Homo-oligomer: A and B are copies of this chain.
Amino acid sequence: MGNTEKHIHILKIAEELFAEKGFDGATVRDIAEAADVNLAMISYYFGSKEKLMESLFKERMVMMKLKVEALIENKMLTPIQKVETLIDNYIERVIEKQSFYKIMLCEQVINKNVIILKLIKELKLSYAVLLTNLIAEGQKSKIFKKNIDVMLLSNTMTGTVTQLMINKEYYREFNNYKKMPVAEFDILLMAKLKEHLKNVFKAILGYDQ
């Protein structure tokens, strides 16, 4: 295993453990053991446990920013299509990067590490600006209603998806999908989520079809 490969591997394992046990709950020994590397390697590579977490955030944030920027590029779509693409992308991203989103969620509640909070804030801002511009565009073309509270709408999207990430198994149980294979259920849930959020956006932004 090469140099950077090992970095990446440790970050991946750390991500899983931080998501599962929280930053304080996951010990450096846990991570070292799960990643099958010597305890000292984590300090050697990253400096400290805290810097390991920061490295994880910096690494993952790059990808997220790229995804957001990719959304801005889609110039040929209509405002409605843009909104729906944004919803689809967000849902897919959260499902795919569940562990990281769980870590972000807890870090926002337990606001301790200033560097991490700053990174989260930046990401949120870029998202909020994207959505604001998008909605403004739709309002200019009279497709969307006036007086939209972008932040409220944005938090409805992130909140709904986050809650379902947390309550996935509970949703499964409550709706009697217990017999369904996991992979199939995941696809179903994702589809239902997309449909639901699009309906919410449609109602709030005030467009039909």
Contact = CB atoms under 8 A, between A and B. Distances in A.
A156 B156 contact: yes
A67 interface: no
A136 to B, nearest CB: 14
Most B-side CB within 10 Å, residue of A105, A159, A164: A159
A91 to B, nearest CB: 12
A122 to B, nearest CB: 12
A44 interface: no
Contacts of A21: 110, 112
Interface residues of A, number: 44
Interface stretch (A50-58, A72-80, A169-177): A169-177
A73 to B, nearest CB: 24
A182 interface: no
Given A121-B170, A159-B162, A163-B162, A196 B152 contact: yes
Interface string A73-97: 0000000000000000000000000
Given A160-B152, A163-B158, A200 B204 contact: yes
A167 interface: yes
Contacts of A204: 196, 199-200, 203
Of A149, A153, A156, A204, the most chain B CB neighbours within 10 A belong to A156
A172 B166 CA distance: 26
A75 B15 CA distance: 49
Interface of A: 19-25, 102, 105-106, 108-110, 112, 121, 124, 128, 149, 151-153, 155-156, 158-164, 166-167, 170-171, 174-175, 192-193, 196, 199-200, 202-204
14 contacts: A22-B110, A25-B112, A105-B105, A106-B106, A108-B167, A121-B170, A124-B170, A128-B174, A152-B192, A152-B196, A155-B171, A156-B163, A158-B159, A203-B203
